[in-house]
Chain A
C-alpha cells in the first residue's frame, strides 16, 4: 500500500501544477481573452450609438439608447453605396469559392491519381508558383487584366484568383491519401476517372472540401489589395474597399462606419458559429504547408 501511493500521486502533480498555478492560469487566460474581445465590443458599441455619444466628453460604455436605426440609415444613405458593395462581395465570395474548389480539386486529383508521363514536370511547374505569393505580383497581374479590359468588372475580380497553386497542391496531397480501393471498386463497376471522381471521390471527401471552402471564402471575402487595384469604379467596390474609403472620407459618420464594419463581419461570425469545425481543420491543413 505505502509503496503504490507515491507512484499514483506523482503524475497527478505534474498535470495539475497546484491550485495556485491553475488560478494564475485562469487569470492569465481571462485577461488575454478580455483584451481579444475589446475590439468586438467597440464595433458593437459604436455601431449602435449616436455620433454624439461616441465623441462625447466622457467615455460611454454602452449607448443610452440602442440605435437600431443606424442599420436602416446606412442603407438609405445615397452617398455611401454600401448595399452595392455588400452584393459585390457576396457574389465575388461565392464565385471565388466555387470556382477555386472546382478548378483546383480537379487538377489536384489529376496530378495525384491519373498516370501520365509528364505529370511530374507539370507538378513542378505548379510548385514553382508557390514560391511567389500572388500579392507580390499584383502589378504584372493588373497589367494583364487591364489589357483584357477587365478592370472594374466581376470577371476581373474573380477569375485571376481562381488558379491557386497552393489549393491545387493541398488537394493533390489529400487525394494521394484517399483510399484507392474505393475508386477501384468504382472502376470495376464501369465508371471512368470522371465518373469515379464525381460519384465516389467527391461524395467521400466532403469534409475536406468543406474545410477548404471555408478558408477560401474567408480569404476571398477579406481580400483587399486585388479588389482595390481592380475596383476603380465605385460600382465594382467590394465591402473591404468601401470600408477603406470611409476611413479617408472628408466627413466622418462614426456610427455608420461602425455599422458597416459590423455588417461586413457578420457573415464570418456565421461561419464561426456553424462551420468552426471545418475552419479549424482548414487552418491546420493550410498552415502546416504554408
Chain B
C-alpha cells in the first residue's frame, strides 16, 4: 500500500536535499513494486516447479521405493535400470511410432480443413465452429465415446455396425494387439480433438497472405488449384507449418489421457508418461526409478524445445526470422 503513496513520501526529504534522493527513493519504490507484482508468482514457481525438479534429480540417485526421503545412494543405477528396462525403451518406441503417424496426419487434416473453411462463403462460421467444437472436449470424454461406442469391440459398436452392413465380422479394436487396430482408435481420437485447434492457426495465417501474390501468380500463368497451392500458399505458410509441427510433436510427447483410458489393463501401446505413471505410482511406488525416468524425459524434451527455439527464435515473434 505504501507504494502507491511514493510521491507523497518522497516529498519531505526532497524539500531539504538534492533531487537525487527522490530518484533513489523512486528506484527503491520500483524494486519494491517489482517484487510486489512478481513475488507471488516467483515464489510459487520456485516451490512448485524448481524444487520438484531438483528433488527429483536428487531422488533419481537413490534407492527410493515407497519413500521420498531415501538414504541409500546408488549412483546411476536408476538410470541404468530405466534405460535397460524393456518397458521404458518400448514406451519410447511407442512414442516414436505414435508421433510418426499422428503429426503428419494432423498437420495435413488441419491444413485441409483450413483451406476448405477459408474458401467457403456460405455458412463459413458454422463450419468453422463444427471443426473447432471438439477442441473443447476432454481427452477422457472423447476416449469414452471412442471406446464405448464408436470402436467398441462388440456388435453394437458404431464401426462394427457399419462393417456388418457390408458383411464384415466384428473387430476387437482395442482388446487385441495383433493386428494393431488400436492405433486407428488412438490416432483418430487425437485427430478429432486437435485438428480444429490447428485449423484456427492455419486460418489466421491464410488470411495474412496478401491477395496480390495470387494475382501475380495468375498473371505468371499458375493454374488455380494445385499449382497455386504448391507455389504460393504452401511457402507462405511455412512459418505456421513449422510451428504446428513442433507443437504437435511436443503434444504427442505428453500423450497420456487417451492411452491410459483406451488401453487400460493392457500391456501394449504404453507411451512414456503412462509407463512412468505405473513405475512411480503403481504397485512398486518406485520414486527413484520414476524420477530417473522423468529426468530422462525432461532432457529429451529440452532438446526438442531447444531445437524449436533454434528454428522459431525463442521468446521472440516470428518477425525475427
Contact = CB atoms under 8 A, between A and B. Distances in A.
Contact of A143 (B59, B276, B277): B59
Interface in B145-159: 145-150, 154, 156, 158
A268 interface: yes
A179 interface: no
The range of chain A's interface size is 35 or more
Query: Top 6 A-B pairs ranked by shortest CB distance?
Result: A110-B37, A140-B56, A107-B41, A222-B138, A140-B52, A163-B44
A265 interface: yes
B159 to A, nearest CB: 11
Contact of A107 (B31, B38, B48, B297): B38
8 contacts: A36-B133, A135-B273, A136-B273, A137-B56, A138-B273, A221-B138, A224-B260, A240-B140
Interface stretch (B12-20, B85-93, B112-120, B178-186): B112-120
Main secondary structure of the interface of B (DSSP, over half): helix
A14 B38 contact: no
A290 to B, nearest CB: 4
Contacts of A122: 38, 42
A140 B131 contact: no
B48 A36 contact: no
Interface stretch (A62-70, A73-81, A185-193, A204-212): A185-193
B201 interface: yes
Nearest to A229: B281
Interface residues of B, number: 110
Contact of B215 (A14, A138, A143): A14
Contacts of B236: none
Contacts of B302: 131-132
Contacts of B139: 222, 224
A288 B243 CA distance: 7
B203 to A, nearest CB: 9
B175 interface: no
Contact of A42 (B31, B150, B198, B253): B150
A247 B143 contact: yes
A200 interface: no
B68 interface: yes
A213 interface: no
Contacts of B53: 132, 137, 140
Given A194-B3, A290-B250, A29 B117 contact: yes
Given A137-B52, A247-B143, A194 B201 contact: no
A143 B246 CA distance: 30
A138 B6 CA distance: 43
B127 A33 contact: yes
Given A143-B287, A264-B141, A29 B301 contact: no
